[in-house]
Each structure stands twice: as structure tokens, then as C-alpha cells.
Amino acid sequence: MAERIDGRARAAEVLEGVKARAAAFSAAKGRLPGLAIVLVGEHPASLSYIRSKEQAAGRAGLYSETHRLPATVAEDALRRFVGRLGEDERLDGILVQLPLPDALRQEEVLAALPPEKDVDGFTTLNQGRLLAGERGLRPCTPLGVIDLLRWHGVRLDGAEVVVIGRSRTVGRPLALMLLEEHASVTVLHSHSQSLSDDVRRADVVIAAAGQAGIVRREMVREGAVVIDVGINRIGGKLVGDVAPDVAEVASAMTPVPGGVGPMTVAMLMANTVEACTWRS
């Protein structure tokens, strides 16, 4: 039976480290690292995520402020608002909670963020820096996955890693970050023709497709490490992209909930402290 990779436990350790860094920064600079969260509309999942981020900022000793705007806000007005936050010297990180209402273009809104305050790592410049191997703010979920693997002692150098999903927020940046760890990376997606065969040869399987149960027991080789990024609501219950019986063959596996989710929030706080350090 797979060993549980406890994201909640590791996230608590990360937040303690952030708290120590925030306190040291405050002692040196006379202010706390600052995070602004922008929520547009009343998307139920977004409301839940915002609460968890507010709580984590408090636990990490950061200054935070949340701005709730109506779903009817005009795109130009939202861009100007985000731009004004970018000019506020109390703020080191700004997060625009996604998804945005359909009438708003995500790329246009994110373009108003100063890259040095883009703690989600979603701006074109920060994603370009990742591609170029330059220093920049990295997306939080991929950061959390890499951190969990390191924490659990998983060797990535030379490992065969399969990433299922090619989203701009998880799959693509995660593949690049795994390459930086010297892993051999295969990215699979909805058009892949040999999903089962490719997954079966992997030392590490990372499921980020947003499709419940896409990774099944017979697809995973004995002893593989499985990271489940998926969050799907089925019959009022949260489930991942990995079928539960995969735990019978994997050597280690993240739970859903309690795996990658807490790490995403913790890495957002870590990015905020990193941003304030670079800016200072």
C-alpha cells in the first residue's frame, strides 16, 4: 500500500519558514511583506480558495488585503484597479483569483500586473523567464509538486516522469521545472494516443488533467510515485484524477484533499516573501 505524501504537514512546515523570513524582513525593513488578493464575482470555488489564502497569510505573518469586485466590473476598470495595486509599495505580491467571469479576458487583466509582484507566476514575462531558465516567480502548484517530491526524497535526476495535462497554470510550467531537475519528462494530454503505455513506464506520475479517475491501477507500474493534482467534485465529494486503488501498486501517493492543494497555498506565501526580498 502506498505511503501517504502528506501535503498538509509539509505546507505547515513551509508556512513556518515563511513566518520566520517575514519576521526577519519586518525587523530589517519596518514593515511586513504584503499580499493583495483580488476576487471578481462570487464563484463558489474561488470563495473557498480565497478564505484558505487569507488564513494562510495570517498564519505566515504576512500583511494581506482582499478586494472583492462585482462580476459586472468592466475590463478596463479592473485593469486600472490592478495597476494601482501594483504601484502600492506596501504590497509585494498581487493575486487575481481565477477564473474570471466570461466577459473578462484573463490575459489582458494579468498584463496589468507588475511581473515582480506576480506571485501566481502567470504573467507572460514570468512564464517566459521560466522557459529561458531565468530567475522569476514560478506558478504555485508546480512549485508545490516539486517541493513535495523533494521533501519525500524522490530522486528526479534521470527519472522518467509523466505529466498528464498541459494547462498553462500547471502542466506546461511543471514540465519545464522538472526538466530543470534533470528528469526525463513526457507530457500527455487529450490527444495523446498511448496514455496507458506511457504512464506504465514512468517512475513518477503526475496527474493534472481535471478528469476524475483518468489514472487507473492497471496503468501504473509497481513502485511508482503518484502525485494527484486533480480536484473534481463528484456527488458532493472531492476526488482526484487518480483512482483510489492506484494506492495498491504505488510506493507513495498524495491524497485528495490534503495533498497538492495545501502546498499551492503555502507556495503562494513563499512567493510573496521571495518577491519582497527581491524588491528590497
Instruction: Give yes or no for residue 5 having a pLDDT over 80.
Output: yes
- Express as a percent the part of the chain with pLDDT over 90: 94
Is 97 one of the annotated active-site residues of the chain? Answer: yes
Alpha-helix runs per DSSP H in the chain: 7-29, 44-59, 75-87, 106-110, 124-132, 140-151, 171-180, 195-200, 260-279
Is 53 one of the annotated active-site residues of the chain? Answer: yes
What pLDDT was estimated at residue 48? Answer: 87
Catalytic residue among 53, 127, 198, 228: 53
Instruction: Give yes or no for residue 90 having a pLDDT over 90.
Output: yes
64-77 average pLDDT score = 97
CA distances from 68 to 61, 119, 140 (A): 22, 18, 22
Helices 124-132 and 171-180, axial angle in degrees (round to 10) = 30
Q: Is 56 left (phi over 0), alpha (psi -120 to 50) or beta?
A: alpha
What pLDDT was estimated at residue 199? Answer: 97
What pLDDT was estimated at residue 228? Answer: 98
Q: pLDDT digit string (tens) for 266-278?
A: 999 999 999 999 8
55-73 average pLDDT score = 97
How far is C-alpha 98 from the chain's CA centre? 12
Q: pLDDT digit string (tens) for 189-221?
A: 989 998 999 999 999 999 999 999 999 999 999
C-alpha cell at 189: 494530454
Quickly tell me which residue has 483512482 as its cell.
243
CA angle 251, 9, 182 (to 5 degrees): 55
pLDDT band at 9 (very low <50, low <70, confident <90, very high): very high
Instruction: Give yes or no for residue 280 having a pLDDT over 90.
Output: no
Q: pLDDT digit string (tens) for 211-265?
A: 999 999 999 999 999 999 999 999 889 999 999 999 999 999 999 999 999 999 9
Catalytic residue among 92, 118, 120, 147: 120
Catalytic residue among 97, 118, 147, 198: 97
Domains of the chain (ranges, CATH numbers): 30-114 (3.40.50.10860), 140-261 (3.40.50.720)
Could you tell me which residues come within 8 angstroms of residue 170 by beta carbon, excluding any fewer than 6 positions away? 139, 141, 142, 208, 229
Q: What secondary structure does DSSP assign to 194-221, as a single string?
A: -HHHHHHT-SEEEE-SS-TT-B-GGGS-
Q: pLDDT digit string (tens) for 113-165?
A: 999 999 999 999 999 999 999 999 999 999 999 999 999 999 999 999 999 99
